[in-house]
Chain A
Amino acid sequence: MVPRQTRMQLLTFSIAGEPYAIEARLVIEVLPLVPARPIPQVPDYVLGIFTYRGDLVPLIDLGRLIGAGPPTQRLSTRVIVVEFHPLRSAAITAAAVRLGLVAENVISIRGAEEADASLPHLQLVTAPYLGQVLRIGGGTVQLIDLARLLPPDLLDGLCPPTPAGPAEGRS
């Protein structure tokens, strides 16, 4: 019943029609598009905060963040709730933070055994969050490096590092 060993699962989605991906192990859940409470005085790609399982989680529009404009309102446009350990600007205990990411065409998970990671890791100063480019099937997919997604001071502001850290509500 158990198939061959899988190394990595990728959650794929599109931004402006181009395929991107996030490692599935960093994803907590995929939700339908939810309304967010706006926050003043932040970049336009921070849509606001929303309540997820009792916590307040920032909602980020990946389309606007990458510079492709706001997403189209479709059923497949969804919120990806992720949890990861960020690269803090100060030497504080790096507690895990949660973010909601809005992206289009969030409809499939691809096994990484299909992927060929031989392409190099991108190193762009203007877009540090662009990770490896993987080859899946006939096309390529851009891996998003969550730890570098937001500037560290903005992330600190949105998710203040507290000693207690975010509550571990998962069983």
Chain B
Amino acid sequence: MRRSIAGRLLFWFLVIALIPCAILTAITARIAASSLEKSVRDTLVQTAAGKAGELEAYAGERVRDGAALARGPTVVQAVRDLARAAESEDDPRGRLNAAAAAVTPYLTYVAQAFGYEQLLLIDKTGQVLFSLAETIPPGTSLTAGGLASSELATGFDRAKTLLQSDLSGFQQYGAARQPLAFVTCPVFDEGRLTGVLALGLGPQRIWQVLSDFSGLGETGEVVAGQFAGDSVLVTTPLRHMDDAAFRLRIPLGIDQSVAIQQAASGTRGFGTLRDYRSHEVVAAWCYLPSFRWGLVVKQDAAEAYGLVRFQRSAIIALSLATIIGVTLAALVVARTISGPIRTAMAVARQVAGGDLRASVDVTSDDETGALLSAIQTMTSDLRGLIGRIQHSSVALMSTATAIQATASEQQQVMADYGASTSQAVAAVKQISVTSQELVRTMTEVNDMAGRTGKMAADGRSDLAGMDGTMRTLAESTSSFGAKLATISERAANINLAVTTITKVADQTNLLSINAAIEAEKAGEYGLGFLVVAREIRRLADQTAVASLDIERMVKEMQYAVSAGVMEMDKFAEQVRAGVHEIGAVSGKLSGIIEAVQGISGRFGQVTEGMRAQSQGAEQIREAMVRLADGAGRTAGALDDFNSATVHLREAVGDLKEEVSRFTI
């Protein structure tokens, strides 16, 4: 449970926290990286373009200076004088030196003023007429000898043939301190080419421009190179290799320093590649047409993209910190939620096991606190309810026992009643037999009186016997009346018992309604008890119906007894009338004996009375049979009632057993 809640919380916390964070970070990193790349590229390309522009401007300036100088009258005159001196027949060297000495001060001044390392005046055949420095002595020919294939010779040819100023490549000339590049300018005298002015430039000024690494960080540098056969000759001192200038050669076609190879071959570009040290660098390159150099501005990729790497590691660190923080927060939240739930679960298990003594400590006032307090309230309510039910079931049990005792008593009463009825039936039967016997006797008497008066004396004794019989009959009648009174009394007792049962049924019904109301208030926990309450109510209804049946049967019985009593009264009156008749008969018997013949009619009246008596006895017997019938039905109803009471007891027993499952 706890692991499940914690796991889910952790999962969703991480999902909610990390997905937007990751997306945002990826977008930001991508934007930052591309913007940084763009800025690096812009810096390198602009630096390359700036330096190229600066060097081109420098070269153009130098070339224009040279052109202007070559057109100056001093130079034109000097070339004319020197050429003439060189062509003279006698002592050309001495005349040449003299002419040179004449122009040396001016040209020395010019060279120093413009910063030239060397200044040559060459005639149109390629012979050096004048040299400011000793490295190329006057008289040296450019068309033959060691200088024939030099950069200076190429520049001379270009100036002579194209008739315009040009800048040659750098080259080491003899014992000079440094390589020189020459600005070669044609010298015209009156429209004809008379010679070439060659001005030697040192590389310091260019190196100064190229050694400015501002904006290129710790590892950035500028590399310049020119073609030299099947390799590219680096023409600048390098940041990482001080003596590289005019010494380091990069063969064409290797995968190192592709940038300088491409730049020297005249292309312009940008890219990430490997330099002469085999380091990965970011480079921008272009071509310097004036110098015929390739120019590469580069920076180590590690430094250029350092910020991107820093940003990446910062993002990873931040993500790790977020994951740890989110995990801790999820665990804390899961603990605060799952703790009270576990407590509630333990209490619920205890209650489910039937132990209602469980109690909960409510410490917080949030939702879980409310849950615990609700469980606390529920448990205590349930405890009270079960307690009341147990109490009620005990009371119900004693009530059911009382009902059963009453029913037993009633059965006893019914048994007594049955016995009384049997006695009454026997008595009536005796009466009936006696009556019939009487009728027969009377008939015989009548017959005898009718046939012979002699038998009147016998008839008199018969009358005495009849008188005794009549007395017995009167006694039986009064005994029977007393028995009927007993039956009536028992019936009243039954009524009393029925009233008690009705009251019990009423109380049971009331109890079941209140139990159902309590069950309703107990909510879901009362549903089971609701069913029990409904069963109790049904039992109460059955009990009420049974008592109604009993009441009805007892009423029928009482009615039958009343009818019997009435019949008995009538019969007793008839018996009294019979006795009276017998008295009259007995009193008149003497007269009868005297006048037997006239007696016959009176005997007829007696016989008639006796027949009426017999009929009355028959009616009583029928009433008694009905009474016995009623008693039988009452016994049956009592059996039903008894079994209903047993049901009630069983139901109450089940209820008690159900409730005893709970410990309060």
Footprint of B on A, CB under 8 Å? 1-3, 5-6, 9, 11, 24-25, 27-32, 75-76, 78, 106-109, 171
Contacts and interface: CB of A to CB of B under 8 A. Distances in A.
B517 A27 contact: yes
Interface stretch (B40-48, B107-115, B470-478, B520-528): B520-528
B531 interface: yes
B528 A30 contact: no
Contact of B517 (A1, A11, A78): A11
A76 B533 CA distance: 17
B516 A9 contact: yes
- Chain B, interface size category, equals 20 to 34
Contact of B528 (A1, A11, A29, A108): A1
A106 B510 CA distance: 8
8 contacts: A2-B527, A3-B531, A24-B517, A75-B502, A109-B520, A109-B534, A109-B537, A171-B381
A9 B533 CA distance: 13
Contacts of B521: 25
B634 interface: no
B505 to A, nearest CB: 9
A30 B516 CA distance: 11
Contacts of B537: 107-109
B49 interface: no
B531 A30 contact: no
A78 B531 CA distance: 23
Contacts of A75: 502-503, 506
A107 B384 contact: no
Contacts of A6: 527, 530
Contacts of A78: 510
A29 B506 contact: no
A32 B511 CA distance: 10
Contacts of B533: 109
A75 B531 CA distance: 24
A50 to B, nearest CB: 17
Contacts of A3: 527, 531
Contacts of B311: none
Given A2-B528, A108-B537, A171-B380, A24 B510 contact: no
A109 B531 contact: no
B334 to A, nearest CB: 32
Contacts of A11: 513, 517
B277 to A, nearest CB: 84
Contact of B384 (A5, A27, A109, A171): A171
Nearest to B658: A1
Nearest to B512: A109
B524 A2 contact: yes
By Cβ-Cβ distance, the 9 closest A-B pairs, closest first, are A75-B506, A171-B384, A109-B516, A9-B520, A24-B520, A30-B513, A27-B517, A2-B527, A1-B528
Contact of A109 (B502, B517, B528, B541): B517
A28 B384 CA distance: 15
Chain B facing A: main interface SS: helix
B34 interface: no
Contact of B513 (A5, A109, A171): A109
B607 interface: no
Interface in B488-546: 502-503, 506, 509-510, 513-514, 516-517, 520-521, 524, 527-528, 530-531, 533-534, 537, 541
B524 A30 contact: no
Contacts of A171: 380-381, 384
A25 B522 CA distance: 10
Given A2-B527, A75-B503, A32 B516 contact: no
Contacts of B384: 171
A31 B509 CA distance: 11
Contacts of A27: 517
Contacts of A29: 514, 517
A51 to B, nearest CB: 18
A122 B524 CA distance: 31
A29 B516 CA distance: 10
B506 A25 contact: no
Contacts of B502: 75
B574 to A, nearest CB: 46
Contacts of B380: 171
A30 B506 contact: no
B527 A30 contact: no
Nearest to A31: B510
Nearest to B388: A171
Contacts of A106: 513
Interface centre among B384, B503, B527, B533 (most CB of A within 10 A): B527
B520 A30 contact: no
Contacts of A25: 520-521
Given A2-B524, A3-B531, A171-B380, A32 B510 contact: yes
A107 B512 CA distance: 9
A25 B534 CA distance: 17
Contacts of A9: 516-517, 520, 530
B616 to A, nearest CB: 43
A60 B192 CA distance: 147
